[in-house]
Structure 1
Amino acid sequence: MTTEIHTLVGAYVLDAVDDIERAAFERHLRECDSCRAEVDEFRETTAHLAHDTWSVPPPWLRENVMAEVASTRQLPPMVPEAPAAPSARGLSRRRWLVSAAAVVVAAAGAGAAVYAVQDQRVRDQRQIAEAARLNEARVRQILAAPDVVLREQPVSTGGRVTVASSRLQNAGVVLLAAESAPAGRVFQLWTIRPGADPANAGVLAEGQSADVVVLEGLPGATDVALTLEPPGGSAAPTSALLADVKLA
């Protein structure tokens, strides 16, 4: 057994040793009460830091580290005639301090990352809420137009498609309320214009069978159609029309 093995306490707890060092240190632990005590203390420290209730480093850890810094004797200067060899205990404590400081930095970074993620989620939710508010206001504006025209047609598989169109607003609102789509298929809306291929007007998510869609420039179209497509939608209709609302 060598004195250097005492210095592996911090690295062993943080799993920063190779297989040979781990095996040697675990044999040493069976004989060294001091190292066993340090391993237990360091594991308790890292367990506190890893607990999911901490998003920032606990205040007591910084105080403990600073207290250890103040009480730990520094290495003496190198003297060629009689170089002073630090004790195994001193090296172990310094290694513990380095490891603990690294844990503090990592925990602080994790706390900042958690805050950044939470802050981004708040911003995302605000943007979603604002988009929903603007969409609802636009729907009300189109439906309240003095020239709005309502047209509807049943869906062949059950349900109904209603289209409200306003030339003054140069827009329309499509209200879809259908029966559930078959497994592995989704509803997709299309606008049809003279001399042009059907254009995607909205793809519903899997399992979704109702939606309200605002279509700007709708009065220039002749039809609003509905088909069943693979999840994610298609570039062009791949199945028979389930509904075809004539606008002209």
Structure 2
Amino acid sequence: MRTLGGQLPLALAVTLALGAGAARAQDLSASYEGAPVRFGQGEAHTVVRTDADGKPVSIGIVFSESALAGLPAGDKDMAPAYQLAMPSSGPQTVVDHVVINWEGHGHPPPGVYDVPHFDFHFYLVSPALRQQVAFGNEGESGDPRQQPPAALLPAGYVVPPGTAVPQMGVHAVNPAAPEFQQQPFTATFIYGYHNQQQTFVEPMVALSFLQSKPSFSAAVARPASYGKAGVYPASYSVTYDAAKLRYEVALQDLR
């Protein structure tokens, strides 16, 4: 093709420019879903949602309304657990896998979390490493060797004695949360550690709150730093979709 002065013909140059602009404007927003797992009388799966640039903006657990029915009564010392894999495609996140723990009898402290609820654990470590987490007793969370460095603990959070759970870790709670101020427990956000390393983040949600079919979101207190490189939530949500008859508990506003 002959050109004038070594330049592309004007019409071709305009076409190429428009094509490049269209490519840049391509919308890469999508939802990537993990394999479903039987949960109650329904199913649950993970989901990662991306923005127009293809970057992850939320990591969630989606489960059918029927999942709240037919849950096992269970022994109060043995909470039924449901392990969910992350999506096999889409962007990688800091979350390795998810475990839903059904606490049909609640757990300590009394008057706070002793109501039926779910622990939605988003683990930063592999199942093999998680299963190696062991303690002599639940009081070991008060041991200095299990207290995380200040930089990994959000302001106001504490790791009290009595929160060391095998195959989980120690649990950091916010004493200023409403449930510690004599208000009914609805939903809260917890951080987990083992051997002074971050191992999970955990929205914890009361069954009664889910049954109210909420549209809830709240800011997440963030530590100064994280032990695993990646983006972490600045908020979380608990929502009910009346059209699809399902719930979603999600880590949102990843940054």
Higher helix residue share: 1
Pair member with larger Rg: 1
Higher strand residue share: 2
TM-score after normalising by structure 1: 0.27
TM-score after normalising by structure 2: 0.27
